[in-house]
Amino acid sequence: MGKDREKLVVIGNGMAGISAVEQILKLTTKFDITVIGSEPHPNYNRIMLSYVLEGSKTIDDIVLNDLGWYKDNGITLHMGRAVAKIDELNKEVITIDGLKVPFDKVIIATGSNSFILPIPGSDKEGVVGFRDIADCNQMLDAAKCYKKAAVIGGGLLGLEAAKGLVQLGMDVTVVHLMEDLMERQLDHQAASMLKAELERQGIKFKMGAQTVELLGDARVSGLRFADDTVLDAEFVVMTVGIKPNITVAKDSGIEVNRGIVVNDYLQTSMEGVYSVGECTEHRGTCYGLVAPLFEQGMILAKHISGVETVPYEGSIVSTKLKISGVDVFSTGEFIDGPEHTVIANKDDWKRTYKKIILKDNVMVGAVLFGDITDSAQLQKLIKLKTVMTDDLYASLMGTGCCGGEGKKGISVDTMSNDEIVCGCNGVTKGTIVDVITNQGLTTVDEIKACTGATRSCGGCKPVVEQILQYVLGDEFKTAAKQGICGCTTLSRDEIVAEIKDKGLQTTKEVMNVLGWSQTEGCSKCRPAINYYLGMIYPDTHEDEKQSRFVNERMNANIQKDGTYTVVPRMYGGVTTPEDLKKIADVSLKYDVKVVKVTGGQRLDLIGVKKEDLPKVWEELDMPSGYAYAKSLRTVKTCVGSQFCRFGTQDSMGMGAILERKFERLDFPAKFKLAVNGCPRNCAESCTKDIGIVGNDGGWEIFVGGNGGIKARLADSLCKVKTDEELIEICGAIMQFYRETGNYLERTSEWVERIGLDHIKAVIVDDIEGRKALMERIEFALKQVEDPWKKALRDKEQTGKLFNGLEMSNQL
């Protein structure tokens, strides 16, 4: 630590405390900073816990400041340690386990705790709050074992918990004391629309119900209500409110009320000690939303750093949230009374609702549901106590002469630089303007990567776009092009060219040499670069497992309950009784929940525990079907000429040949084939990346089909007479796609982007070029274990699998 620097200790490693630290780091270097957090995690976005719960994000995805950030900024971090008290006399912060940290200044940012109803049974097993990662993990574990859940509390946290548990497959009922959901943020109309939408998503509700007892023995089994009715539940989440965590302050002799009492500069009653966030009480008010804590943090940071600042005078509470995909917003007075004039517009077709409340013709509050585009403008207008006019009414309600097209949009030019744009991450307008002006950022993705704005719920994206347009002016339309992600402006083709030209060998090297704005990259670019390197250098590139998606690292697909699915390879959809018996034995031994026949004619073992994956694969002793990979997934076949009276070609044999030959090779995206023995198309070749249809004269080849979200019928590429031509053209198509496809771009998009005529010219018309493509894919195949050659050597097994088919003759 620097000898002349003041020692700043931050008690709490959450969003409020670390946001204040981030602001301090921008203003001064006079502090040696120590952060003490009770959780065994770096700073993470608590708002995003519901996304972790539903499975769309991991814990790593919601970390705001990783361990490298603390190190880079010279911050000493103590994780998993709770503070007992602040010793004012000896100027030390003392942890429960005896660590003593000297201080000159302290920031208390201990947040809040879940309020657990003081009713009989609330201490039973299976009753949790929803405030941190530990609670989230308990909920994930419960969903694996139990089916019926109750969430007590119909506020934001309760609804997020309910949605997450529904996504995990549980039967969930939200129990709420009031008749309206989120009654502290929404009026009756918006609350009713929200309830209807959540019911469509599978959540059940019991409104106006007071829980008086939790039933069960050691573990909860149900809820009893004041009217003596009962609801069965094996798991209960309490989200009825929060309590400011004032224990440290109280035990240190600092003045507390409901929260830790502070003045307008966030100072407590103890000299040199500040408080910020949910644990704080300012002018009799404790705030439970993120925007006020960021406003507090900015003023605290300036004051503690010796920078002139206006005092904190409280926050106009506004709520801008995305609940289960539904956008809601409210600010100021949202419940109208006799003294108010109400402007409202409800659209049942689009499921949107807008209400603006006036008092003496001054805007004092608003509620939005479904479409929150005007949220920033309304918040500003209400904060400034704006008088409603005919022009303003036309702008806000879309009733001008242009039928709404003349709406003025968000007035970002009148926003102050200190105004928070991204409430989830505390990013101000000034921060966004600064990175656009001084760092030359030109896209929303670049701003997201640099500042965190739009990184969480995405509700602030329209405002960020408006600020971008406002700052760039006429340059906005001609701003720098978007790269493969927000970390770079380089396109796929430019990156590949630079890798080849400069001889770059690793993902780190690519990002460093090519000037990535995020030195570690992101989840979009890391897997893409790893793929491009493997495609360019199939013989020398060492696959970077840390750059692959989690399913590829685990060799299985993770499911919403935390278990995995295992899919063994079945070449052409054909297997043996011996392999079927192995699958059955393994499924019984490892308690597989379901064995499903997939659309690709394989068996999917659903519900394998993570710790059992290595043993399951070992005992199956079968090749992986790569159901999780960006590679050849399946080759679907009909029974063809071996069995079908209509079959003209041996589709099962050819399907097995193609699958054995090209399996395990990486592609830009998942890749599927189908082989039909006749034009009746029983194997559905028309919706596959490569579809093959047999006829009396040979084979017809189709490309670019997709049966997924963006369904597309495949295009006819050519007809061939021999099996040798078929295999060569399929290999050339695959390699051309590998070399020119954007990462995660399916062939259905690739064909439309490249053009079918161009593909024909390269694959069908240019015979020498086709052979060169085939040579390159053969070279790549030699770098991986080659089951094709193994199959050729194993004549006996080949005969069993394919009824005597002579594979060598098919070559």
Residue by residue, what is the 3-state secondary structure of 291-358?
HHHHHHHHHHHHHHCCCCCCCCCCCCCEEEEEECCEEEEEEECCCCCCCCEEEEEEECCCCEEEEEEE
Domain boundary among 594, 629, 664: 629
Specify if 259 maps to a domain. yes
Within a domain: residue 482?
A: no
Residue 122 within a domain: no
Overall pTM surpassing 0.75 (yes/no): no
CA atoms of 110 and 85, how far apart (whole Å): 12
Q: Do 377 and 333 reside in the same domain of the chain?
A: yes
Given a cut of 80, whether residue 263 has pLDDT beyond it is yes
The confidence band for 82, taking pLDDT boundaries of 50, 70 and 90, is very high
268 with 186, same domain? no
Position 751 in a domain: yes
**What's the mean pLDDT when you consider all of the chain?**
85
Q: Which of 546-560, 563-577, 607-621 has the lowest mean pLDDT?
A: 546-560
CA distance 188 to 181: 8
What pLDDT does 435 receive?
Answer: 87
Are 347 and 377 within one domain? yes
Confidence label for 600 from pLDDT (cuts 50, 70 and 90): confident
Neighbours of 283 (CB within 10 A): 11
649 shares its domain with 770: yes
Domain end (from 526, 548, 570): 548
Read off the DSSP letter of residue 491: -
Higher pLDDT, 522 or 55: 522
Residue 115 has pLDDT above 80, yes or no: yes
Separation between Cα atoms, residue 215 and residue 470, nearest integer Å: 58
Q: Do 654 and 776 belong to one domain? A: yes
Q: Give the C-alpha separation, 532 to 581, whole Å.
A: 40
Burial 99-130, CB ≥16 within 10 A → b, else e:
eebebebbbbbbbbbbebbebebbebebbbbb
> What are the start-end ranges of the H helices in 473-549?
492-502, 507-513, 525-536
**What residues are paired with 557 via a beta bridge?**
565
Whether the per-residue pLDDT at 483 is higher than 80: the answer is no
In this prediction, residues 788-796 reach a mean pLDDT of 41
pLDDT digits (tens, 9 = 90+) for 96-112: 999 999 999 999 999 99
Query: Which pLDDT score is estimated for 683?
Result: 86
Q: Is residue 415 part of a domain?
A: no
pLDDT digits (tens, 9 = 90+) for 746-777: 999 899 888 899 999 999 999 999 999 999 99
Strand partners of residue 568: 624
Chain segment 669-718, per-residue pLDDT in tens: 989 999 999 988 888 888 899 999 998 789 999 999 988 656 788 999 99
Range scoring the smallest mean pLDDT among 469-483, 574-588, 663-677:
469-483
Say yes or no: 541 and 553 in one domain: no
Q: What is the total residue count of the chain?
A: 811
Identify the pLDDT of residue 664: 79
The reported pLDDT for the residue numbered 724 is: 93
What confidence score (pLDDT) does residue 310 get? 92
More confident residue, 180 or 618: 180
117 lies in some domain: no
Q: Would you place residue 411 in the very low, low, confident or very high pLDDT band (cuts 50, 70, 90)?
A: low
Nearest one of 487, 427, 432 to 15, comparing CA atoms: 427
Is the same domain home to 661 and 699? yes
Residues 131 and 187 in one domain: yes
**pLDDT above 90: residue 234:** yes
Does residue 301 surpass a pLDDT of 80?
A: yes
Range of lowest pLDDT (185-199, 717-731, 784-798): 784-798
Q: Is 682 annotated as a binding residue?
A: yes
485 is in an annotated binding site: no
| Domain of residue 599, CATH code | 3.90.480.10
31: nearest Cα among 92, 91, 75: 75
Amino acid at position 421, single letter: V
Greater model confidence, 457 or 32 = 32
pLDDT band for 800, please (50, 70, 90 cuts): very low
Catalogue the E-assigned strands of 54-170: 63-65, 76-78, 83-87, 92-95, 100-102, 105-108, 112-114, 127-128, 148-152
Q: Read off the CATH number of the domain in which 678 is found.
A: 3.30.413.10
Whether residue 140 is predicted with pLDDT greater than 70 in this model: the reply is yes
Which domain CATH number covers 405? 3.30.390.30
The domain in which residue 643 lies consists of 630-811
pLDDT class for 797, splitting at 50, 70, 90?
A: very low
| Mean pLDDT lowest among 171-175, 297-301, 487-491 | 487-491
pLDDT band for 340, please (50, 70, 90 cuts).
Answer: very high
As beta bridge partners, residue 699 has 694, 720
Taking residue 715's Cβ as centre, other Cβ atoms within 10 Å add up to: 18
Q: Is 644 annotated as a binding residue?
A: yes
- Condensed to tens digits (0 to 9), the pLDDT of residues 357-406 reads 999 999 999 999 988 878 878 888 888 889 999 888 888 887 544 333 33
Q: For residue 549, is pLDDT > 90?
A: no
pLDDT at 792 over 60: no
Q: Are residues 637 and 747 in the same domain?
A: yes
Is residue 174 domain-resident?
Answer: yes
What's the CATH number where 272 sits?
3.50.50.60
Strand arrangement of the beta sheet that strand 211-216 belongs to? 211-216, 220-225, 230-232
Last residue of a domain, one of 205, 225, 240: 240
pLDDT for 458 equals 66
- For residues 677 and 781, membership in a common domain is answered with yes
Total count of domains within the chain: 7
Provide the pLDDT for residue 464: 86
Percentage of the chain with pLDDT > 90? 43
Residue 118 counted as domain residue: no
In 3-state terms, what secondary structure has residue 241?
coil
Coil, strand or helix: which one is 805? coil
- Specify whether 695 is located in the same domain as 639: yes
Report the distance separating Cα 76 and Cα 468, nearest Å.
36
> Which of 642-651, 664-673, 793-802 is the least confident region?
793-802
pLDDT of residue 246: 96
Do 234 and 133 fall within a single domain?
A: yes
